[in-house]
């Protein structure tokens, strides 16, 4: 069985940047403790690797316990709300800001529309770290929706509105939500005759590092008999990309750990592909490849 790794999979540049910043801080010999706010990325393997190098995970509530200790706290790629920076300042903690520039840009754009009095609608997961950061920027004065039904129920249709997306959501559903809102808010224009109330903007802020992989992933999934998709279960883009691969090739299996691989999946397969999320480390996909290349007809339970 020929086993390959999807060349487009693995860390996106935003995650590469965050991990590099963490490693630079850990290699700094000043003997100051290095913390990260929340799991550095949604991948248990990489978290484990960095923890072995000394990276400690904390929450904002832990700030008083490291106050004034010279500790450095990394803000991960998802970003943080303004309150976090204030809490760090109050506790005399140095912040190392590794927020992905794409997320910083999203926060800036949301703030701009909020300051102009727009109703802010976010297509995303309410409690996802990135969305928590964006919610903080607008003092939680926004509506977060994941479906058209939620948008229809929660969005006030008589207000100037702007729709944004969490960077790692799926584009087809974003367009469904956009079209449904556009239709309703456009209807209101006719009724209210108030142009300001008709103003509706949809900002597709889905990151190209996720959506840009769709077509290539479909081709890759179709060109292999079996796909093993490796990602952390908490990874949003992992879920989105896995669904795309699974649709293209029903013999696609999600695993977080090598031990979840069932050798019988490869029974009769000539080709197997390994793909992953933007937070899946390449070194781990190589371990998965080595394991799969070591499978024998006996372990796959192929009748001889
Ligand atoms: S997926 Fe995009 S937004 Fe998220 S960390 Fe990577 S580059 Fe940044």
Check which CATH number belongs to the domain holding 32 and give it: 3.40.50.11270
Per-residue pLDDT tens over the stretch 116-164: 888 999 999 999 999 999 999 999 999 999 999 999 999 998 888 889 9
Task: Identify the domain containing residue 69 by its residue range.
Answer: 13-100
Nearest residue (by CA) to ligand 1, atom 2, is 207
When the pLDDT of each residue in the chain is averaged and rounded to a whole number, the result is: 90
Residue 203's CB is within 10 A of a number of other CB atoms, namely 14
Q: Which of 52, 81, 100 is the last residue of a domain?
A: 100
Which CATH number do you get for residue 179? Answer: 3.40.1010.20
44 and 114 co-located in one domain:
no
Spell out which residues line ligand 1, taking CB within 6 angstroms.
Answer: 12-15, 77, 100, 102-103, 167-168, 207, 209-210, 237, 278
Give pLDDT tens digits for 2-22.
Answer: 999 999 999 999 999 999 999
147, 228: one domain: no
Q: What is the pTM of this model?
A: 0.86
Same domain, 6 and 23: no
Identify whether 303 is part of a domain: no
Q: How far is the CA of 272 from the centre of ligand 1 (A)?
A: 27
| Domain presence at residue 193 | yes
- Whether 302 is covered by a domain: the verdict is no
Ligand 1 atom with the smallest distance to the CA of 207 is 2
- Write out pLDDT tens, residues 245-289: 999 999 999 999 999 999 999 999 999 999 999 999 999 999 999
In a domain, 289, yes or no: yes
Domain-embedded: residue 229: yes
Gap between the Cα atoms of 36 and 39, Å rounded: 7
- Pair (27, 120) in one structural domain: no
- Tell me, yes or no, whether 283 lies in a domain: yes
Say whether both 250 and 260 belong to one domain. Answer: yes
**Residue 89 domain-assigned?**
yes
Quote the crossing angle between the two packed helices 101-115 and 129-137, to the nearest 10°: 30
| Residue finishing a domain among 189, 205, 221 | 205
* Residues 12 and 208: beta-carbon distance below 8 Å: no
Distance 43 CA to ligand 1 centre (A): 14
Residues contacting 52, CB < 8 A, separation 6+: none
Cα-trace Rg, the chain: 22
Answer whether residue 190 shows pLDDT above 60.
no
* CA–CA dist 161, 155 (Å, integer): 9
Residue 57, strand partner residues: 36
From 100, 118, 142, give the residue that closes a domain. 100
298: in domain: no
**Number of domains into which the chain is organized:** 3
44, 125: one domain: no
298 labelled catalytic: no
């Amino acid at each position: 069985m020929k086993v390959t790794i999807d060349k487009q999979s693995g860390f996106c540049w935003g995650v590469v940047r965050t991990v590099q910043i963490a490693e630079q801080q850990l290699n700094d010999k000043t003997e100051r403790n290095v913390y990260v706010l929340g799991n550095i990325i949604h991948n248990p393997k990489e978290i484990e690797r960095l923890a072995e190098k000394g990276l400690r995970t904390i929450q904002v509530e832990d700030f008083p316990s490291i106050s004034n200790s010279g500790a450095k706290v990394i803000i991960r790629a998802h970003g943080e709300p303004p309150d976090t920076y204030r809490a760090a300042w109050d506790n005399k903690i140095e912040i190392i800001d590794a927020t992905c520039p794409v997320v910083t840009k999203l926060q800036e754009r949301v703030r701009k529309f909020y300051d102009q009095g727009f109703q802010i609608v976010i297509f995303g997961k309410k409690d996802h770290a990135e969305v928590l950061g964006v919610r903080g920027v607008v003092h939680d004065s926004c509506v977060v929706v994941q479906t058209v039904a939620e948008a229809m129920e929660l969005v006030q249709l008589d207000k100037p509105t702007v729709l944004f997306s969490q960077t790692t959501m799926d584009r087809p559903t974003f367009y469904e939500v956009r079209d449904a809102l556009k239709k309703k808010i456009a209807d209101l224009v006719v009724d209210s005759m108030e142009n300001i109330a008709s103003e509706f903007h949809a900002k597709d802020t889905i990151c190209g590092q996720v959506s840009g992989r769709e077509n290539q992933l479909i081709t890759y999934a179709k060109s292999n008999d079996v796909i093993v998709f490796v990602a952390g279960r908490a990874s949003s883009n992992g879920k989105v990309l896995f669904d795309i691969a699974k649709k293209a090739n029903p013999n696609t299996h999600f695993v977080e750990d090598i031990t979840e691989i069932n050798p019988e999946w490869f029974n009769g397969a000539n080709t197997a592909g390994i793909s992953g999320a933007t937070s899946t480390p390449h070194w781990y996909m190589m371990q998965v490849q080595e394991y799969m290349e070591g499978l024998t007809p006996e372990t796959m339970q192929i009748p001889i």
